[in-house]
Amino acid sequence: MLYELNNVVRLFGSRTVLEIDSLSFEARKIYALIGPNGAGKTTLLNQLAFLDQPNSGEIRFRSTPVSYDHSSLTGLRRQVVLVDQSPILFSGSVWKNIEFGLKVRKIPKKERARRIEHALEMVTMSDFAHQDVYGLSGGEVKRVALARALALEPEVLLCDEPTANVDREHQEIILKILSHANSVRHTTIIFSTHYLSQSRQLAHRTLLLQNGRLSKNLEENIFQARIIRRDERLKCLVNGHLIPFSDPDGLASDNRQLRVHVDPQKVKLKAFGQKPVLSPWIPGKITSLSKENGNIRIMVDVGLKLQILLSEDEFIAHPYQVLQQVGVGLDGLGVTLLP
Amino acid sequence: MDLLVDSLKSALLLLLSFDPELYEIVGVSLNVSFFSTLFAALFGLPAGFFIAFNSFRGKRLVMTCLNTLLALPTVVIGLVVYSLISRRGIFGPLELLYTQKAIIIGQIILIVPLITTLTIAAISRIDQRYRNTALTLGATYYQMGWVVFLEARFGIMAALIAAFGRVIAEVGISMMLGGNAKGFTRTMTTAMALEYDKGEFVLAVALGMVLMTFAFVINMVFHFLQGRLKSDAL
Amino acid sequence: MFNKVLVVAVALVVTFCGISAAAADKVLTMSTTTSTQASGLLDVLLPEFKSDTGIEIKVIAKGTGAAIRDGMDGNVDIIFVHAKAREEKFVAEGYGTKRYAVMHNDFIVIGPNDDPAAVSKTADVYAGLKSIAAAKAEFISRGDDSGTHTKEQFLWEKSGVKVVTNKREIVKKGEKVAVGFNEPADSADWYKSIGQGMGKTLTYADEKGAYTMTDRGTYIKYKYGKTPPIELSILSEGSEALANPYGIIPVNPKKFDHVKYDLAETFAKWLTSGRGQKLIGDYRLLDKQLFYPDAIPQ
């Protein structure tokens, strides 16, 4: 195990930004961290980069508990490099920026030059070698920062939204570079992103982070959908039902086929007893109930298998049963369009 | 109006004739101001660095004290140091009074708070993310500190320039601790005070012109550096 | 890299320029008054002394009181002032070894050409001051507790005019002090105490067309050395009371064993020798004699 996190909690003031009961990362794999803004992705990456320290809990790196004194940290940080979402470049030339980490590790001049040139080639910025960083575009900055990290040939490469601010053409290149670093150099890669597509493309494992906590619910509740125009507005059709949705990535267009994700915690249930289920509620039958981590997981068959999470309190207020006929209610916030 | 114009004409002549007395006075000012800025920086830069980088109990108090010290009038400093280095004072036997060393000592006291506060400001202006970036690239804390220092270099240079400008133009300390002795401790400012008192405007105006030229150049450099500061923030 | 080299180069140049005098071994520190320094006499005497003896003199000029104080504190090796009573006290209290009488200059009473108080017709300065008081003619006083001001107060007292002590607040060395000044009684409408130096006092009096008492040197400068010159004229001069004697006193090595007594003695003796005295007598300010040697009168 490369990383092991146990009961890691990070507070900012009174706000809990990260609360991980148990999480581990294996070496040589690619992990994707998915989650909305404010989910704690950056905070988690900072913990893994040893730039920040949890308020409580333990992090182990290579089976040894991390000790947060200066000299231990420097040693650890020389194995793990983090590339920020909006990276900072030091004033000076591109060359000098990439050289920094190499100089710090006392790598000799010839070797430094070789690595810098190689790194620049990888991000297709060889022409920029001696250019001053002042005036570089957002995408160029990102690529330089990536080159800066790659030149160090680290054990672990952490990337906070590696393709943010980068144009389409170079996004693909960056993803390829990450894949290459992992397959050829066996660099462990942990990156955060908004895009499920990237995680599917690259990652061996995907983690979902929401409100600082890990959620297992990514593989579930994803359904085929089609966007249709009805009454001047775009609506979403899933399995014959029109459902409300939210579209943060702006993917909806008339007649488009895509997928939706339904947040299990934002689905409402209503017991109708013997009466017929009224619109907009969707009729379904409960097929399983199980308890996990303070929640009750309910599987409902609405023609598709839908997972729902209720808190224990909610369930105690409405104790559902297997085989019970229920109405399922969706609101726009719980349904997200996916590419 | 004639007074000013005539004085300006005569002053220009004096300057261009390389009058040795005039240039000796300028030399004393430069010498004293240079060394006081240098020594004040040796103390003020590390102090500013330390304070900016660390949080410790009483940091607010220290900052408040420093800001208060900025308002120390030169005559107060002159008076206090005078009482210490006068023959009857504790440091009397060191024979410091009425020497350039005494002026330097007084001026150091004057600008250490200035250099320190401006350094703190320059360092604080450097985003925390620079530190983290250096650290994640494997820097030790010292190496990281050096990175921050380099990023803050324009702000720090501006601090030193401001300090130099402050001391080269002050008269309270130079007069009280130096004594305006011709050939020994006569600076541009003390000479101007004397000549004005004598009613000798020509030398005073000439010196004033030199001083203004210095002030102008210093300010130009200062603003240039500040400009670089802003552009670097992008 | 280039920047570092530049800095070092500038440093060296500046240091070189600034290394001033005190390379000389023999340096004598002397305190004197600002008016003595302003007279320009020292600019003539000191180079001559240096070429004769190789001794360089570091001149610290302040107000009379401060100059004497420097002697009492041992901050200087010798004092050269013009306040006879205080000088004698200085020696009596053991701070100085001996008062050498060097020279004197004089004070004069000046005023507007039309001379409303008819001062020019009086026999001596005392009578002149009495006239001014009687006529309630405007009189400007330095009012700054200086040597000149002290003299002025002394003359009023001795002139017979009724004098009272008024408390005034002046600024000395950046601090406000309350001092008692002796001023003519009931003089609020004609006696103005402005708390300024000699030059400013003359300018003020000139603008007001008022009377004032001044040292001859400053008057000469402002009458013959300035454009435009002041218009006031000399209305009373030559009274013995108006003489302003200068004394030079080496600081007592018994009190301060670090003082350069030998050098001080050398200077004092040189100043009162034929050579020094001649230089003093020959000194001209704008073609006018300013100082009259006392050790060897000419």
Condensed to tens digits (0 to 9), the pLDDT of residues A170-205 reads 888 889 899 988 988 899 999 999 877 777 778 888
Contact present, A239 and A204 (Cβ < 8 Å): no
- pLDDT for the residue numbered A37: 80
Alpha-carbon gap, residue A150 to A184, rounded angstroms: 12
Cα dihedral sign for C114, C116, C122, C127? negative
First to last CA, chain A: 33
Q: Chains contacting B with at least 3 CB pairs below 8 Å?
A: A, C
Of the pLDDT bands very low, low, confident and very high (cuts 50, 70, 90), residue B17 is confident
> What residues contact B2, with CB distance under 8 A and at least 6 apart?
C227
Do residues A336 and A245 make contact, with C-beta atoms less than 8 angstroms apart? yes
Looking at per-residue pLDDT, the higher value among C55 and A224 belongs to C55
- Closest CB to B138 among A90, A134, A152: A152
Amino acid at C80: F
| pLDDT value at C79 more than 70 | yes
Q: DSSP 3-state assignment of C78?
A: strand
Q: Is the pLDDT of residue C218 over 60?
A: yes
Higher pLDDT, C177 or B164: B164
Could you tell me where the DSSP H helices lie in A206-333? Answer: 312-317
Tell me what pLDDT residue A218 has: 58
The CATH code of domain C107-243 reads 3.40.190.10
Mean pLDDT of C133-140: 93
* CA distance, residue A92 to nearest chain B CA (Å): 10
Please give the pLDDT value at position A36: 80
Determine which of C75, C214, C220 to mutate to test the interface with B (most B C-beta atoms within 10 Å). Answer: C75
Length of chain C: 298
Q: What is the pLDDT of residue B4?
A: 76
- Per the model's pLDDT, the better-predicted residue between B201 and B125 turns out to be B125
Nearest CA among C155, C179, C140 for reference residue C237:
C155
Asked whether at least 3 C-beta pairs link B and A within 8 Å, the reply is yes
Q: Is A259 or B65 the better-scoring residue by pLDDT?
A: B65
- pLDDT above 60 for C16: no
Output the pLDDT for position B234. Answer: 40
pLDDT at C15 over 60: no
pLDDT at position B214 is 81
How far is Cα B174 from Cα B30, in angstroms, rounded to an integer?
A: 12
Residue of A200, A214, A158, A207 whose CA lies nearest to A33: A207
CA-closest candidate to residue B47, choices B103, B139, B137, B119: B119
Of B23, B88, B181, the CB nearest to C60: B181
- What pLDDT does B200 receive? 67
Q: Which of B10, B97, B104 is the mutation pick for testing C, counting most C CBs within 10 A? A: B97
For testing the chain B interface, which of C60, C70, C72 should be mutated: the one with the most B CBs within 10 Å? Answer: C60
Residue of chain C nearest B100, judged by CA positions? C20
For C17, the closest of B31, B73, B185 (CB atoms) is: B31
- HEC string of A160-193 equals ECCCCCCCHHHHHHHHHHHHHHHHHHCCEEEEEE
**pLDDT above 70 (res C94):** yes
Which segment, A214-228, A229-243, B111-125, is predicted with the most confidence on average?
B111-125
Q: Is A17 within 8 Å of A211 (Cβ atoms)?
A: no
* Res B124 pLDDT > 80: yes
d(CA B160, CA A117): 38
In the prediction, which pLDDT does B88 show?
Answer: 85
CATH 3.40.190.10 domain range(s) in chain C: 2-104+245-293, 107-243
Domains of chain B: 26-187 (1.10.3720.10)
Segment among A62-71, A189-198, C79-88, C173-182 with least mean pLDDT: C173-182
pLDDT more than 90, % of chain A? 45
Top pLDDT among B85 and B18 is at B85
Structure tokens at C75: 């901050």
In the predicted model, is pLDDT for residue A212 greater than 80? yes
Across chain A, mean pLDDT equals 88
pLDDT per position as a tens digit, C247-273: 999 999 999 989 999 999 999 999 999
- Angle among Cα A95, A101, A102 to the nearest 5 degrees reads 80
Q: Please give the average per-residue pLDDT across A239-257, as a whole number.
A: 83
Domain C2-104+245-293 belongs to what architecture?
A: 3-Layer(aba) Sandwich (3.40)
3-state helix, strand, coil split of chain C in percent (to 5) is: 40, 25, 30
CATH architecture of A3-215: 3-Layer(aba) Sandwich (3.40)
C1 pLDDT exceeds 50?
no
C278: pLDDT strictly greater than 70: yes
Q: Where are the domains of chain A?
A: 3-215, 222-332
Residue contact C21–B194, C-beta within 8 A:
no
On the question of pLDDT at B112 being above 90, the answer is yes
Flag whether residue A134 sits within 8 Å of chain B, measured between CB atoms: yes
C23 in contact with B, Cβ within 8 Å: no
Q: Are C135 and C188 in contact (CB under 8 A)?
A: no
Q: In this predicted structure, what is the pLDDT of residue C188?
A: 87
| Whether A51 contacts A113, CB under 8 Å | no
Q: Is A258 exposed, middle or buried (0-12, 13-18, 19+ CB in 10 A)?
A: middle
A168 alpha carbon, distance to own chain's centre: 19
pLDDT at A265: 83
- Among A222-236, B30-44, B67-81, B138-152, which is the least confidently predicted range? A222-236
Mean pLDDT score, B42-58: 90
CA C199 to chain centre: 12
Assign C234 to helix, strand or coil. strand
Closest approach of A132 to chain B, Cα-based (Å): 11
What confidence tens digit (pLDDT) does each residue in C108-124 have? 999 999 999 999 999 89
Cα maximum dimension of chain A: 80
Is the domain A222-332 a CATH 2.40.50.100 member? yes
Cα B140 versus chain centre, distance: 33
pLDDT of residue A214: 86
Reported as a single tens digit per residue, the pLDDT across C96-110 is 999 999 999 999 999
Residue B167 has pLDDT above 90, yes or no: yes
CA distances from B60 to A199, B55, B63, B175, C85 (A): 47, 9, 5, 35, 56
Q: Helices B153-168 and B141-151: crossing angle, nearest 10°?
A: 60
**Using CA atoms, how far apart are residues C224 and C201, in angstroms rounded to an integer?**
17
Q: Does residue A275 surpass a pLDDT of 80?
A: yes
- Mean pLDDT within C146-153: 85
Contacts of B26 by beta carbon, 8 Å cutoff, 6+ apart: B188, B207, B210, C17
Cβ–Cβ contact C3 with B under 8 A: no
Q: Does A82 touch chain B (CB under 8 A)?
A: yes
